[in-house]
Amino acid sequence: MIRTFLMFLIAGLTISSCSRPSANDSAGGEMDSFISDLMDEMTIEEKIGQLNLITPGGGIPTGEAVSTNVEASIKEGKVGGIFGVTSPEKVRKAQTLAVEGSRLKIPLLFGSDVIHGYKTTFPIPLGLSFSWDMNLIEKTARVAAVEATADGLNWTFSPMVDVSRDPRWGRVAETAGEDPFLGSEIAKAMIQGYQMDDLTANTTMLATVKHFALYGAPEAGRDYNTVDMSRLRMFNEYFPPFKAAVHAGVGSVMSSFNDVDGIPATGNKWLLTEVLRNKWGFDGFVVSDYTSVNEMIAHGMGDLQAVSALALKAGLDMDMVGEGFLTTLRKSLDEGIVTDEDIDNACRRILEAKYKLGLFDNSFLYVNEALPAREILTEATRAVSRDAAARSMVLLKNNDQILPLKSEGTVALVGPLANDKNNMLGTWAVSGDPQTSVPVLEGMRNVAGNSVNIRYAKGANISDDAEFAEKVNVFGPRIVIDDRDPADLLSEAVKVAAGADVIVAVVGEASEMSGESASRSEISLPESQKLLVKELDATGKPLVLVIMSGRPLTIDEELALADAIIFTGHPGVEAGNAIADVVFGNYNPSGKLTMTFPRNVGQIPVYYSHRATGRPNPGDEFQKFRSNYLDVENSPLFPFGYGLSYTEFEYSEITLDKSSMTSEDSLTASITVTNTGDYAGEEVVQLYIHDQVRSITPPVKELKGFKKIMLESGESKTVEFVITEKELSFYNYDIDFVSEPGGFEVFIGTNSDELQTASFELIE
């Protein structure tokens, strides 16, 4: 697309109308010369100013610093972007300061953490990943972009694609789970939803893939902790979603807080330049995480001047909030520690992003006071959220087909999350208003109408521990400890339960029990809720647990007690309606776990694609001198990919169209899936591959494909997967992406543990 841009006046310099390529075209010559002309006019201070990202604190300040003197700084050309400022009115005001008040009139970027929706909050990202539905995930990102741009934003700090195998780490809530292949697919879908194919459209925004890199592997699951990992594991398991995001054209990358092979990511040249730019060809800009430049001082990398220079020279372009660049780069330049070229490179990349967004054409492209009322949190966007939430729920157990509930009789709806608005949105929902969310009680009444008598009792506090509650309640009341005695809450719930036909207990984590800086060393239900579940079970009534949480929990005791369990993540603004849709069977659950559920914390990390040992124990019986535990099985509570349906699916054997292939051709694996149950339903058919002999130890299996299919009761469908050399390749010891001839096993099935098998050879 060729566009014409307006007369652009720069003090003394006039760049007159001309045409230039669209945002998503590869950096064209016209963009280059436009930016070169502009940079010729810039002082070194103005260039450094472009590298400065500030926040006046309108979002969630996750560090100690919040920017001050915002207005003056913008006018002085000391600001490249701003975050935490939303609404057309406020954005117009700030942008006006930049384009009318500053010497060179360079527009600002307006960023925000639009993580799982904007004001229409969708399920937490971990929950969305349970849907395995790329169209749906793209749609949620699209809705988020339409809403956020209507509110003046042009840059989101999403998607987060950190692979994580440690549910103690609270930020697993924001991830796509443990698998690099699935994570890559989700990264692509989200970037497409945010950026589409034309960044200059006023409903598209720049995406940021984060946190580069290895942030999901902190030692002991403690947030911000050190990471130590082999390069083999980085390239094969932790980098793929980032690489996929780069290839999908993501506009920016955020560096992570942790160190990578001894050097903090924010100052790691190998990571930010050699891998990201030279190996993968990334041509956008890199932004630090919140004060992560300054935090390199605490990492032990020197004083503010030293760490700022380290970051710039490593390939970091924009400094979030800490102002290390702003306050020290001039001095480093004078002292010869950094060069003009280092500063120019970073400045150019920021200006390119602004150019690609169309901001030099129209700095107020994203500012339209009429849009918020029309686009934000509408009936239509709520409908998308409700659908997404229902599709994200995972049925973990359903004895005697107790679910779906019939629309009759009396339901005891109990639990601390059963009539709660404060926790439905989940973590990192900075723009969502908890008060707009639908509690489960309301949703159950909406869906069941008058045909079901729903009786509610709170039953327990999320936690009885006031000190714990205080730590969780930093962004508002998430754990509200009832004035009534816990024993009274419990006995009231037991009474309600005893008079009902079935109990639905909504239990789990408050939203801020997971998320940033919310690591837990025990990941069970809090004691108050464990007790509630036991007492409810003791009534002898059928017990359905609806478990909400931002991470996998250790729920072996509850699993034994409950008749049915639905795991919902934190479902978003339509939580109550979506849960009721699933409970009453308006939607037949199809979600599949994307993180393994451990039996206990001691098993962590436990994930499906581990490498084999020399002394494996494939079974669950303890064997001396085998790799296992004295006190717990090796198998997890629920494997990756697990999730039941109200119907049953039967898998045929796998058919391969040939028994061998070369690296030049391909092979097709097919399987027939039949819905043998009574309900129509969707199934995620999963393909895993195991390389039998390799020059580096291969994982026991790796996800290499999946298809979500819909089957009417009695219907069969044949699903085909085409296997090419790519699916058989890996990074070898020299970090070359190769395949090696030999035997392979193919697995297809309903989860990473229940699979059909076939095998073939890759021949030279």
Which residues bind to ligand BGC, rule: CB under 6 A?
59, 62, 113, 157, 210, 289-290, 516
Instruction: Tokens for 41, please give them.
Output: 């006019």
Tokens coding 467: 């000190």
Residue from 413, 502, 407, 392 nearest 456 by CA: 413
Least distance in angstroms from the C-beta of 49 to ligand BGC: 20
Residues with Cβ < 8 Å from 322, sequence gap 6 or more?
A: 65, 288, 290, 291, 292, 293, 294, 295
Which of 723-732's residues contact partners 24+ apart within 8 Å by CB, and which partners?
Answer: 723/661, 723/666, 723/667, 723/668, 723/669, 723/689, 724/666, 725/663, 725/664, 725/762, 727/689, 728/689, 728/691, 728/762, 730/236, 730/691, 730/694, 730/696, 730/698, 731/232, 731/235, 731/236, 732/695, 732/696
Nearer to ligand BGC, 83 or 706 (CB): 83
Residue nearest to ligand BGC (CB): 62
How many alpha carbons lie under 13 Å from residue 307 in its C-beta half-sphere? Answer: 23
Give the residues across from 747 on adjacent strands. Answer: 688, 757
Residue 123, classified by CB atoms within 10 Å of its CB into exposed (0-12), middle (13-18) or buried (19+), is buried
| Shorter beta-carbon distance to ligand BGC: residue 223 or 556 | 223
Instruction: Give the Cα separation of 429 and 58 in Å (integer).
Output: 13
Based on CB atoms, which residue is closest to ligand BGC, 62 or 759? 62
Q: Are 256 and 226 in contact (CB under 8 A)?
A: no
* Spatial distance between the Cα atoms of 434 and 438, rounded to a whole number of angstroms: 9
User: d(Cα 116, Cα 575) in Å, to the nearest integer?
Assistant: 14
Rounded to a whole number of angstroms, the minimum distance from the CB of residue 429 to ligand BGC is 13
CB 272 → ligand BGC: shortest distance, Å?
17
CB-nearer residue toward ligand BGC: 241 or 705: 241
Query: Considering beta carbons, is residue 39 or 66 the nearer one to ligand BGC?
Result: 66
Residues 686, 703: Cα–Cα separation, whole Å: 7
Provide the β-strand partners of residue 748: 687, 756
Q: Indicate the residue among 472 and 719 with the shorter CB distance to ligand BGC.
A: 472
Query: Is position 37 annotated as part of the catalytic site?
Result: no
Q: How far is the CB of 482 from ligand BGC (least distance, A)?
A: 32
Cβ 171 to ligand BGC, closest distance in Å? Answer: 8
Residue 359: what are its φ and ψ, rounded to 5°?
-75, -20
**Closer CB to ligand BGC, 211 or 391, in the complex:** 211
Query: Which is the catalytic residue, given 151, 179, 289, 537?
Result: 289
- Give least dist CB 79 to ligand BGC, A: 16
Dist. CA 380–CA 386, nearest whole Å: 10
Q: Are the C-beta atoms of residues 677 and 720 closer than 8 Å to each other? A: no
- How far is residue 235's CA from residue 574's CA, in Å, rounded to a whole number? 38
Tokens of 336: 């010869």
Nearer to ligand BGC, 62 or 345 (CB): 62
Minimum CB distance to ligand BGC, residue 516 (Å):
6
Smallest distance from the beta carbon of 2 to ligand BGC, in angstroms?
35
Q: Which residues are catalytic?
A: 289
